[in-house]
Amino acid sequence: MTSRSQLSSQRIRSAWLFMTPMLIVLAATAAYPLFRTIYFGFTDASLDLLSEARWIGFRNYLEWVDYGDGEGEFYGLLADEGWWRSVWNTLKFSFISVAFETLFGLIVALVLNVQFSGRAWVRAAVLIPWAIPTTVSAKMWAWMMHDQFGILNDILLRLHLISGPIAWTASADTAMLAVLIVDIWKTTPFMALLILAGLQMVPADVYEAARVDGVHPVKVFFKVTLPLIRPAVMIAVIFRALDALRVFDLIYVLTPANNQTRTMSVFARENLFDFDKFAYGSAASTLLFLVIALVTLIIIKFGKLNLGGEK
């Protein structure tokens, strides 16, 4: 065995040695609860009688109930209109929020990447919305959007942009818009931070060469900057999409339970605890995991992201 192969084997063993504690903790805190949740989705488990759960197969997901004479109806999660509405709400929320957060985050990152006096203070100030806990942000914005006492309605009324106060979080027409506004305000700094890290990895001599050649700044951005920071942008999009697909606390605190804002996480939680349909909620949680995994794979596939580089 050559010295190079021995060194490679030693590095691999060292890597596994350092990763083992993390893998053990991950298995105890994530893998075991996940497999238990998947298991309960195939049972008739009740929250009070988990130890007496009986295996019922796919009945929580889809079951054909025969009424006789060839007539019947499908029951289960996959036939539940409420579930599919929550899936649509989640995907719509995720797509819109991630798209705007990526756009605004890119703009903020480009501004913060420029040298100017007080840049360090501006960077710290930009991160404040992201640093505020989600529950606090939701409560703060709930008061700002209050139909009687909220400052948002007051400003819009003074500018004559609306004719009367709007119940932003209570109205079915504006509840999702209110959630999107709060989420974009809070999470744009996160996207800006990740994109800024990518911008600072771009070699300065690339821009110097473009300036000497007289290339227009807009063309430099689309032909040089954007391709070079694409891996950072895609990583930011994946991280944010994972977070957006499992959104719970913002919607649960900011809006009442309604069909316009109920996401998959809220749907699963309501069935797990509020409606005492633990097995049904476990099935919903399992499908939530599968949807997140599928969407993540699609983003990686179409983004052509490779951790070792672009193909």
Which distant-in-sequence residues (6+ apart) come within 8 Å of 45 by Cβ? 53, 278, 279, 282
Q: What is the mean pLDDT of residues 224-234?
A: 88
43: left (phi over 0), alpha (psi -120 to 50) or beta: beta
pLDDT reading at 98 higher than 90: yes
pTM listed for this prediction: 0.85
Res 105: pLDDT: 94
> What's the mean per-residue pLDDT of the chain?
87
Single-letter residue type at 151: I
Token duo for residue 118: 């007080």
Please, are residues 181 and 95 in contact by the beta-carbon 8 Å criterion? no
Q: Is the dihedral of CA 34, 35, 38, 43 positive or negative?
A: negative
* More confident call, 102 vs 8: 102
Classify strands 63-68 and 71-75 as parallel, antiparallel or unpaired.
antiparallel
Q: What is the DSSP string of 153-215?
A: HHHHHHTTS-SS---TTTSTTTHHHHHHHHHHHHHHHHHHHHHHHHHTTS-HHHHHHHHHTT-
pLDDT attached to residue 141: 94
pLDDT at 92 over 90: yes
- The pLDDT value recorded for residue 310 is 46
Comparison of pLDDT for 98 and 9, the residue scoring more: 98
The per-residue pLDDT for 2 is: 60
Q: What is the pLDDT of residue 4?
A: 60
Kindly report, residue by residue over 259-281, the tens digit of the pLDDT.
889 999 999 999 998 888 999 99
* CA 287/CA 298 separation, integer angstroms: 16
pLDDT value of residue 309: 47
**Residues 301, 311: Cα–Cα separation, whole Å:** 11
Q: What number of residues does the chain have?
A: 311
For position 72, what pLDDT does the model report?
Answer: 79
List all residues 6 or more positions away from 97 whose beta carbon is below 8 Å from its beta carbon.
180, 183, 184, 187, 240, 244
Read off the pLDDT of residues 23-76 as tens digits, 9 standing for 90 and up. Answer: 888 878 888 888 999 999 999 998 888 888 899 999 999 987 777 776 778 889
pLDDT band at 162 (very low <50, low <70, confident <90, very high): confident
Would you state the pLDDT for residue 304? 60
How many other C-beta atoms are found inside a 10 Å radius of the C-beta of residue 152? 19
Q: Superfamily assignment of 81-303 in CATH? A: MetI-like (1.10.3720.10)
Tokens of 237: 């999009």
Our separate counts of H helices and E strands in the chain read 14, 2
Taking only the tens place, the pLDDT of each residue in 276-293 is: 899 999 999 999 999 888
CATH 1.10.3720.10 residue window(s) in the chain? 81-303
Bigger pLDDT: 8 or 86? 86
pLDDT at 7: 60
